[in-house]
Amino acid sequence: MKTKLYILFLLFFSAGLYGKSFRFALLTDLHIGGTATATEDLKMSADLVNRDKGIDFVIVSGDITEEGDRESLTAAKEELDKLNMKYYILPGNHDTKWTESGGTFFSKLFGSDRFEFEYGGFLFLGFNTGPLMRMADGHVLPEDITWLKNRLESAGKDQPVFIITHYPVREGDVDNWYELTDAVRPYNIRAFIGGHYHSNREFRYDGMPGILCRSNLRAKEPVGGYTLFDVAGDSLFVYEQRADRESHLWLTLSLKEKYAGEPLDPRPDFSVNEKYPRVRTKWLKRTGVGIYASPAVYRENVYVADGKGNLTCYDLQNGEEKWRYSSGNSIFGTPAVADGILVFGSADHRIYALRAEDGRELWRVPASEPVLGAVAIEKGIAYIGASDHTFRAVDIRSGAVLWTYSGVKGYIEARPLITSERVIFGAWDNTLYALSRKDGSECWRWTGGLTRMHFSPAAVWPVATGGKVFIVDPQRAMTAINEETGETVWRTYESTVRETIGLSEDRLRVYAKTMNDSIVCFSTQGSSPLKLWASDAGFGYEFAPSMLEEKDGVVFGSTKNGLIFALDAHNGSVLWKHKVGNSLVNTVTPLSHKSLLFTAAGGEAGLLTVDD
C-alpha cells in the first residue's frame, strides 16, 4: 500500500521529465483459440482495464491468436473493440507462422501490422518480428527496419522512444536483432517492450532495457492478467495486474539514464567462411524485401518471388535484373517454370502465369483466399494448393482449370509431390492427401494419429520411390507410407527429425535434418527403417523447413541462421559450409555439384560457387 501511495504522489506532483505523467496497459499473448479460457481471460482483462480510469491507452503486443486464423482474429478484435480507450496492436509468431492468409488478414482487420504514435512527449513504435510462414527465429523485415530508421530520423535524437515488439530482441529469438539495435542506437531509446515468454522478465538488448511481460492467459493461476506502465517523473514503473488482487510493482527503470552506446553483444560469427575459402558468392542481390520462396531457374534466367508480391527475373551469370512483375500481395510459395511458362501463386487470391522470357502475363486464375502453396509442374500441368481449402490442376498454356479438389480442411503451403499416378501434399489439418493425377479424385488420406494442428506434415515437400512416400513432421518422426494404400509402412522417432527431407538421385537414400547439428540418411528399401549414416554438420539447434537437395553426388542444405552446407551423399562427410547471412535460407536450388542458387528471409538472393 505504501508503494502505491508513493507512486500516486509522483504521478500527482511530478510534471515529468518529458511531459505529463501517464499510464498505459499492455496485453500480450492472448492466444485466442488456443485454450478453453483464452477468450474469458481477455474479456476479464478488458473489463478490468475499462474500470481503471487512470489508463490512457492500451498496447497489444502479439500472439493474439493460437493459429492466426480468420475466426480467432475476428473474435479477438470483437473483444478488444469493447475497450473504452484506443488500443494499438501488432502480431506475434502465432499470428504469422500458421496463418492461412500469409499474415494479410491481420493487416486487413486491424489496419496494419505496425503502429506509431506520440503520447506525453514519447514516441511509440511497434512492428512485426515474424517469422512469416516459415518455422524460423523471429525476424524484422528489411522494409520495417527502413521504416523504423526513417521515423526515428524524423523524430530526432532527443525525443524519448518506446519500441514495441513481440519477440525479445536478442540472439536466439530474433535472427537479425543486431540490425535492429544498430538502427536505433543513435536515438533516445528508453526501453523495448514485448511478450512471447509468458512471464515478467528484464533483459538488456545490446545494452538497452528490454521488458517482457506476462501472458494474458491464466495458465495455472485462477485468473489471467496484464501489465501496467506508469511514466512518472524520471522513472518508468511496471506492474502486474490481476483481477483477484492489487497491482504488484515488479520493475522500476530510469528515464534519464543513457543506455545506448557502443555495441555490447557479440555479433554473428562468419569465421566458418575462412575455413572453406574455395566457396564464394559469385553474385548477391540485397533486395531490401523479405524472401520466403526458393529461386526457380530456367535456361539463363533466375526467378525470385518476394514478400512485397514481386516476381523478379535475374541473369543467371551476373545477377543483373532483366524484368519485374508485381502481383497484388506477398508471394510465399516457390514458383515453377516449364516450356517457357512461369507459374506462381500470390496472397492476392490469384494464380499467375508469365512468359518466362519477358514477364508478360499470360493468364491468371482466381481463388477465394490467398494462394500460399508452392507450384509443381508436370507434363504441362501446374499443381498448386490454396487457403480456400482447394487444390487445383491448371493447364499452363491456357490457364484452364482441369480439376479441383475441395476436401482439404486446412490451408496448403508446401510443394506437392507428383508421381506417375498421384499428386501428394500435406495441409495444416494433420493430413497428407493423395489425389488422382487424372481427375483429382481422392485416393487416400494419412494422418498417422496426429492430433494437434502444429504436428501437421504441411511444410515438408514429400518424396517417393519404390512404392513408398517419405515425409517428416513436427512430431519429430520420419515416416514411410505405402503410395498405393496410404498405410504406414514404418515410422521412426530415432533421429528427432522435423520438416526437412530429400531424396538421392539414385532414389536409394532419403535424407533428413535433425534439430541438433546432424543430417541423417535412411535407406528407401525394405519395410523397416534402416539408418545408413549420420553426419554432424555442426549447425546447432535447427528447425527451419528447408529441404535437402542432392546434385551430382552432393547433398545441399541450409539453416535458419544463414548457413549453407554440402555433404558427400554416400557417407555424409562435410565438404564445405558457408554463411551468407543470419536469417533463414530457403531450400537451395543446386545447378551442379559446384554451384547453387539461394534466397533468404533477410532479402538476399545469390549464386554460390565452389572453386576447383
Q: Are 430 and 473 in contact (CB under 8 A)?
A: no
Q: Is the pLDDT of residue 572 over 80?
A: yes
pLDDT recorded at residue 602: 94
Q: 100-104, 380-384, 465-469, 597-601: lowest mean pLDDT where?
A: 100-104
| Residues making up the chain, counted from first to last | 612
- At 267-317, the pLDDT tens digits run 999 999 999 999 999 999 999 999 999 999 999 999 999 999 999 999 999
- At 456-466, the pLDDT tens digits run 999 999 999 99
pLDDT recorded at residue 5: 43
Q: Is the pLDDT of residue 426 over 50?
A: yes
Q: Is the pLDDT of residue 16 over 80?
A: no
Q: Is the pLDDT of residue 1 over 70?
A: no
- At 444-496, the pLDDT tens digits run 999 999 989 999 999 999 999 999 999 999 999 999 999 999 999 999 999 99
Helix (H, G, I), strand (E, B) or coil at 421: coil
Paired with 513 in beta bridges are: 519
Please state, in angstroms and rounded to a whole number, the distance separating the CA atoms of residues 227 and 162: 15
Q: Is the pLDDT of residue 212 over 50?
A: yes
Higher pLDDT, 601 or 16: 601
DSSP string, 522-560: EESSSSS--EEEEEEEEEEE-------EEETTEEEEE-T
Q: Are 334 and 294 in contact (CB under 8 A)?
A: yes
- At 116-169, the pLDDT tens digits run 999 999 999 999 998 988 889 999 999 999 999 999 999 999 999 999 999 999
Q: Is the pLDDT of residue 501 over 50?
A: yes
Higher pLDDT, 385 or 260: 385
pLDDT recorded at residue 612: 84
Please state, in angstroms and rounded to a whole number, the distance separating the CA atoms of residues 591 and 583: 23
Q: Are 433 and 442 in contact (CB under 8 A)?
A: yes
Please state, in angstroms and rounded to a whole number, the distance separating the CA atoms of residues 322 and 276: 32
Helix (H, G, I), strand (E, B) or coil at 189: strand
pLDDT recorded at residue 259: 78
pLDDT recorded at residue 303: 98
DSSP string, 124-168: EEE------SSS-SB---HHHHHHHHHHHHHH-SSS-EEEE-SS-
Average pLDDT taken over every residue of the chain? 95
β-strands 115-119, 381-385: how paired?
unpaired
* pLDDT range class, residue 6, cuts 50, 70, 90: very low
**Across residues 387-393, what is the average pLDDT?**
97
Q: Is the pLDDT of residue 2 over 60?
A: no
Rounded to two decimals, the pTM is: 0.93
pLDDT recorded at residue 9: 44
Q: Is the pLDDT of residue 95 over 70?
A: yes
pLDDT recorded at residue 15: 43
pLDDT recorded at residue 257: 87
Please state, in angstroms and rounded to a whole number, the distance separating the CA atoms of residues 189 and 155: 12
Name the residue among 212, 170, 167, 214 with its Cα closest to residue 191: 212
DSSP string, 205-266: ETTEEEEE---SS-TTSSS-EEEEEEEETTEEEEEEEETTEEEEEEEEEESSS----S--SP
